[in-house]
């Protein structure tokens, strides 16, 4: 039951507001599955497409630690100065050029029943129309015995920061189908994402939940069923079906990051200033980030993940010709060309960050195998095929220092 291309492209808009016409999805191989290909010349720097996720959700620990984001589109809700004050731990922190902050608090709205916040009336209505009627806990928002709160607490108890997934992404998938008039269309769309074998699914679940994953997965399935059972999706609630759903989210979830402070910094970079004023502003921003690192560490953004149909068709390369970003400070994903892409050429992004792409072929393969369950055969990996299968001394030192193996993967949440 495959989704039509009209269904796939219905969540994308081109820069001009039209569906993208420069790409098409093709079957590549049994190993790689689908791929995204250019149908016309795409110039370096061009936005190839902009895509809205089928569903998105903020990470639960991220929300608990007061990273305030729109409950629908994940747009950061704090003013840039408020964001800086919280991240530095300095209530008196003042930012110059406050007029550059793009946050519009006068547009914010909350659900009248459960009080969750949205950046606008449009997002509140979109959430209500798609999934929030099912998920709204009403006055039980803070009741620890509410089925959804029990599910979320169970998730937080087994999946700690740095977070890479959320049980609420799965909950919104179910709620979307529950509310939909055309349930089959949404089931078709969710079925587009890549499937894994039973053994591969277990590896993904193990990666997300740790050594005791089987018992934890069964607890989550029981709570998930108690809170959300839907007859049209009965297979998702069986042990095998829930494992498959879990693996789908773990494999295909694209990280989303938003930050009002980052938006303010980008706006400052665009200012035309005298050399002395530019030097002062740059020094202020550099010190601000040092203060944030000392107080908060690496957790700067409102973070979550989403399921993007077209982006999920982009295969990995260690020498990508395109990259993903979230420049609108919400869940709209932009895919931009890093070089000229010829008609018929595959559009590839990287699942690794810049530092990881500079590692040895062995180390890159180790990260990709453990997190995405495939062996890369991109041009860079093929060219380095004769290299020894060992990790460099520098990389071994990093691993000994405790860097998490899945830290900052290619669906990284930067460039917001």
pLDDT at 11: 62
Specify the 3-state DSSP secondary structure of 264. helix
Instruction: Tally the residues of the chain.
Output: 416
Separation of first and last alpha carbons in the chain: 35
* 255 closest CA partner among 408, 38, 27: 408
pLDDT at 17: 44
Q: Nearest 5 degrees, angle CA 404-CA 405-CA 406?
A: 90
Query: Per-10-residue mean pLDDT for the chain, 416 residues long?
Result: 55 50 84 89 94 97 96 98 96 97 97 97 98 97 96 94 92 98 95 78 78 87 97 95 90 93 96 96 97 92 96 93 94 96 96 89 89 86 82 52 43 42
Euclidean distance between CA atoms 407 and 247, whole angstroms:
19
Exposure string over 181-203, b if 16+ CB within 10 A, otherwise e: eeeeebbbbbebbbebeeeebbb
Edge-to-edge strands of the sheet including 47-51?
Answer: 12-13, 47-51, 333-337, 322-325
Is 49:323 a contact under the CB 8 Å cutoff? Answer: no
Tokens of 367: 């990260």
Backbone angles phi, psi at 408, to 5 degrees: 50, 60
- Within 8 A by CB and 6+ apart from 115, the residues are 141
What does R_g of the chain's alpha carbons equal in angstroms? 22
Question: Can you list the domains of the chain with their CATH numbers?
Answer: 1-53+308-350 (2.170.270.10), 55-255 (no CATH), 360-387 (no CATH)
How many CB atoms are closer than 10 A to CB 220? 22
pLDDT at 408: 40
* Relative orientation angle of helices 213-228 and 239-252, to the nearest 10 degrees: 100
Tokens of 188: 């078709």
Mapping DSSP onto H, E and C, the string for 104-169 reads: CHHHCEECCCCCCEECCHHHHHHHHHHHHHHHCCHHHCCCCCCHHHHHHHHHHCCCCCCCCCCHHH
pLDDT at 14: 47
ω before 162 within 30° of 0 (cis)? yes
pLDDT at 8: 55
Is 256:331 a contact under the CB 8 Å cutoff? Answer: yes
How many CB atoms are closer than 10 A to CB 49? 25
pLDDT at 190: 94
Tokens of 75: 């747009």
Using the Cα atoms of residue 332, residue 338, residue 340 and residue 342 in order, give the sign of their dihedral.
negative
Is 76:259 a contact under the CB 8 Å cutoff? Answer: yes
Structure pTM? 0.87
DSSP string for residues in 164-186: ---HHHHHHHHHHHHH-SSHHHH
Q: Nearest 5 degrees, angle CA 301-CA 304-CA 309?
A: 130
């Amino acid at each position: 039951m495959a989704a039509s291309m009209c269904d796939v492209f219905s969540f994308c808009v081109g820069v001009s507001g039209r569906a993208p016409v420069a790409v098409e999805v093709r079957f590549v191989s049994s190993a790689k599955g689908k791929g995204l290909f250019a149908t016309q010349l795409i110039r370096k720097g061009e936005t190839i497409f902009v895509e809205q996720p089928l569903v998105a959700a903020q990470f639960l620990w991220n929300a608990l630690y007061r990273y305030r984001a729109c409950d629908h589109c994940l747009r950061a809700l704090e003013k840039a100065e408020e964001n800086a004050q919280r991240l530095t731990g300095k209530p008196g922190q003042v930012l110059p050029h406050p007029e550059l902050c793009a946050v519009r608090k006068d547009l914010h709205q909350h659900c009248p029943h459960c009080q969750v916040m949205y950046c606008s009336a449009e997002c509140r209505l979109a959430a209500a129309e798609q999934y929030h009627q099912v998920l709204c806990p009403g006055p039980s928002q803070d009741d620890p015995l509410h089925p959804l709160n029990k599910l979320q607490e169970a998730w937080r108890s087994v999946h700690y920061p740095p977070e890479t997934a959320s049980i609420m992404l799965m909950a919104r998938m179910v709620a979307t189908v529950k509310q939909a008039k055309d349930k089959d269309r949404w089931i078709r769309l969710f079925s587009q994402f890549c499937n894994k074998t039973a053994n591969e699914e277990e590896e993904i679940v193990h990666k997300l939940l740790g050594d005791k994953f089987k018992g934890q997965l069964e607890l989550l399935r029981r709570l998930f069923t108690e809170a959300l059972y839907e007859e049209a999706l009965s297979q998702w609630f069986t042990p095998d079906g829930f494992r498959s759903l879990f693996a789908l989210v773990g494999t295909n979830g694209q990280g989303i990051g938003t930050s009002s402070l980052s938006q303010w910094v980008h706006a400052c970079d665009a200012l035309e200033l005298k050399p002395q004023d530019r030097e002062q502003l740059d020094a202020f921003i550099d010190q601000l980030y040092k203060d944030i690192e000392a107080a908060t560490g690496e957790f700067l953004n409102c973070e979550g993940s989403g399921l993007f149909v077209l982006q999920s068709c982009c295969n990995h390369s260690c020498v990508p010709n395109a990259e993903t970003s979230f420049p609108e400070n919400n869940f709209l994903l932009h895919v931009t060309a890093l070089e000229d892409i010829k008609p018929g050429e595959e559009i590839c992004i990287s699942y690794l960050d810049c530092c990881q792409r500079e590692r040895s072929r062995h180390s890159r393969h180790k990260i990709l195998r453990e997190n995405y369950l495939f062996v890369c055969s991109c041009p860079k990996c093929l060219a380095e095929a004769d290299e020894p299968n060992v990790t460099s001394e520098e990389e071994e030192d990093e691993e000994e220092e405790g860097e998490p193996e899945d830290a900052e993967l290619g669906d990284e949440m930067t460039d917001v």
